[in-house]
Amino acid sequence: MRIPRNAYFVIPFCFSLYSAASSAQQATRPMEEIVVTAGFRDAAQMNLAGSTSVLGTTLIEQRNARHLEDVLAAAPNVGFTVGGSRARFVQMRGIGDLEQFTDPKHFPSVGIVLDGIELSNVATGALLFDTEQVEVLRGPQGTRFGAAALAGLVNIRSRDPGDTFEAQASAGYGNLDTWHVSAAAGGPVTESLGARIAVRQYMSDGFMKNAFLGRDDTQDRDELTVRGKLAWDVTPALDADLTVLYIDADNGYDAFSLDNTRTTLSDEPGTDAVEATALAGRVGYELDGAGTVELRTTYTDSDEVYGFDEDWVFRGFCDGVRCAPALEFSATDRIARGRDQVTVDLRWLSAPGRLSWVTGAYFHHRDEDMERSRFGLFTSDYQTTRYALYGELDFALHEALSLTLGIRGEAFDDEYDDSNGIDTQSNDTYWSGEATLEYRARPDTLLYATASRGAKPGGVNTGATSVRGVVAARFQPFVDDRLRFDTETLFNKEIGVKGRYLDDRLAVRLALFHMDRNNAQLENWIWDASTFVFVGMLDNVDDAENYGVELELDARLTTTLGLLARVGYLETDIESMSVFDLDTNTFRQLRGRDQARAPRWQYYFGLNWDILPGLRGNLAVEGRDEQYFGYYHDGKLDGYTALNASLAWQVREVEARLWARNLLDTDYDVHGLYFANDPRDAFSVNRTYTQPGEPRVYGVELAWSF
């Protein structure tokens, strides 16, 4: 087993944590109970079978997190791919999408939900403001979410209207000319009606500099979030909730340079913008002694514009000295997508008891149109519809033993047509489900074993279909075999333990898992130099596996010291995959290779210190191992370790916080490309090009609560 050099401290640290907590001489207060809301019923994290991380308000504030990508490092075996101004796709246990161009995404492998609203296809809008917690559920969440959560789910929950009026306002400023202002207020409007509204404007120049244009804001962030919530107890038996969300992220995109630095030379920087309006409603009716009926509906209208300078340099770069003028190449790529999405979920939940159950029906429809400007205009229209029936049974076999069985059957239909003359329709049926056995070994310890199955529908590789008559003859068989890709199924086996010990001063969560991927949908590319065609497609790999462990420890060492430890270890494997190797200019078989975006090690350790009354400090270290970032090459993103810190001082209703991420200014990358894009070597040398992660960022925050 290979252990990265920067992770040698992880194992001794974990073993020393228990003894450190045991030797604490001072009495400590119990840790608060964390409730997970992503399932059919709310459940305490320590009573919920399955590997689940909860990233709460304290962590979000300590990291000054503004987007989902700012907190995911604290969840073991979870990562993300950027490819824009913000994280666009999430990976769990090595499974997840890497990027997107013209091909429509049915459903990313990891779902993202904010207050019941699916954001998986507009993850740039996963902004964290007035957020209660982020729940990370690993493994197929098939019974609850079906095809929308093959590898897992990220559930973002904002604050609800409270029983008493409360309000807060905050403002902050940091380096890179970063600032924000925000305000939120909520509470009872009448005896039966509660409301909350939250608004935030966030601005930053970003950390890229454009030397040609003389600007430092071509990768800027301009993000507005507005959210409103209503909670209405109509009658003792009838209640209703409504959430209204508006997101306007008008960000720049200028991330790649020929020399892999934070200084670009593009003359036409790109954009990564999302404007979305969403509604989520819930109505619940409590039946007399027969449980509760719930109707949940959502509607989302989003517009996304994504574009970049394709050559990464300016006109005139090839001046006869750097390169020959004949090698001049100037182009931009701009993709605009509009999406309308509707979901309806009707369910019946029994009253809690020794035997409890849920049954329901689900409907989902999405209409997505796209317009791409690149060497001409390309348009497409894509519609998907999902129907599902699902059910779950929980029954106690004994005082200490219980069994959960869940199943979901889905029908998937899609229609696609584009300006290249492709017109296709397809339909598929598949099922997901789980079986979980829980054993309460003692009041403070839960043992569980679960087997779960997820599925993700197949479809058409529209990019490959468009070029099938254009590429050279030697590529034709390869492309023709990949005009479509099949449904992927994922079978997960997991065992785990959760417990609280040492007078409730130590919480332990440990999970071991093994996943079998059948017809794994992996990204593949070909480059035909004779026709200048570089096209990607989803490929099916018959057999792939992912297995590993996740360990989370929360400890109160003394009345003033708290410690968090999060460690993930992951092994992945591809049995066999045919790829076109850009370096050898031939086809080859990948056998037994790690999957992309699947680092072996990930770790996060945080120390919280109540220094004085009202004065709190936090020091945290996070890191990951190296990882492949594609399959048609052997390029890797290096591993890294970064240090974060914060210091907060509260006086009555006012709090001041100093914060810093990546305090030691560690260099690391969040996305990678591999191809020949440098005119200085006549586009003849393939290189790894990386999008850098954020450097040292720091600032001050003032918050007022009343």
pLDDT score at 533: 85
Q: What kind and span of H or E run contains 465?
A: helix 462-467
Longest dimension (CA), the chain: 84
Q: Which residue has tokens 């909860």? A: 54
Using CA atoms, how far residue 13 sits from 299, 386, 510, in Å, is: 47, 47, 16
Please give the CATH architecture assigned to the domain spanning 5-705: Beta Barrel (2.40)
CB atoms within 10 A of CB 444: 15
Its sign, for the CA torsion 116, 117, 121, 127, is negative
Token representation of residue 4: 């990265």
Strand pairing partners for 179?
173, 203
Contact 622, 74 (CB under 8 A): yes
Token representation of residue 312: 């990464």
Using CA atoms, how far residue 7 sits from 10, 12, 552, 603, 620, in Å, is: 5, 10, 16, 8, 14
Distance of alpha carbon 458 from alpha carbon 103, whole angstroms: 12
Distance of alpha carbon 277 from alpha carbon 300, whole angstroms: 6
Using CA atoms, how far residue 701 sits from 542, 574, 650, in Å, is: 51, 46, 12
pLDDT score at 49: 93
Contact 96, 138 (CB under 8 A): no
CB atoms within 10 A of CB 93: 28
477: Cβ contacts below 8 Å, ≥ 6 apart: none
Residue 88: burial class (beta carbons within 10 Å; 0-12, 13-18, 19+):
buried
Which residue from 95, 82, 108, 105 is spatially nearest to 138, judged by alpha carbons? Answer: 95
pLDDT score at 527: 87
Residue 54: burial class (beta carbons within 10 Å; 0-12, 13-18, 19+):
buried
* Half-sphere exposure in the Cβ direction for 309 (13 Å, CA): 24
Distance of alpha carbon 113 from alpha carbon 225, whole angstroms: 16
Average pLDDT per 10 consecutive residues for the chain, totaling 706 residues: 44 42 45 86 92 94 92 94 86 89 80 89 83 95 90 94 93 97 96 96 96 96 96 96 96 96 96 95 94 97 94 95 92 93 97 93 95 90 95 94 97 92 90 96 94 93 86 91 92 97 95 97 89 88 96 96 97 94 90 94 97 96 95 92 97 96 96 92 92 96 93
Q: What kind and span of H or E run contains 59?
A: helix 57-62
* 13 DSSP 8-state letter: H
Distance of alpha carbon 517 from alpha carbon 456, whole angstroms: 11
16: Cβ contacts below 8 Å, ≥ 6 apart: none
> From start to end of 374-487, where are the E strands?
377-398, 401-418, 423-442, 445-456, 459-460, 484-485
Which residue from 10, 16, 21, 112 is spatially nearest to 69, judged by alpha carbons? Answer: 112
What is the amino acid identity at position 172?
Answer: G
Contact 293, 284 (CB under 8 A): yes
pLDDT score at 8: 41
Contact 705, 653 (CB under 8 A): yes
Distance of alpha carbon 234 from alpha carbon 244, whole angstroms: 19
> From start to end of 139-259, where are the E strands?
152-158, 166-174, 178-188, 193-204, 209-210, 221-233, 238-253
> From start to end of 5-51, where are the E strands?
35-36, 43-44
Helix (H, G, I), strand (E, B) or coil at 353: coil
Q: Considering only CA atoms, give the Rg of the chain.
A: 25
Contact 451, 437 (CB under 8 A): no
Q: What kind and span of H or E run contains 604?
A: strand 601-612
What is the amino acid identity at position 624?
Answer: R
Contact 672, 637 (CB under 8 A): yes
* Half-sphere exposure in the Cβ direction for 540 (13 Å, CA): 19
Distance of alpha carbon 311 from alpha carbon 337, whole angstroms: 23
Q: What are the domain boundaries of the chain?
A: 5-705
Q: Which residue has tokens 């960000």? A: 251
675: Cβ contacts below 8 Å, ≥ 6 apart: 527, 534, 582, 686, 687, 689
Which residue from 115, 122, 57 is spatially nearest to 85, judged by alpha carbons? Answer: 122
Q: Which residue has tokens 């840790």? A: 31
What is the reported pTM? 0.92
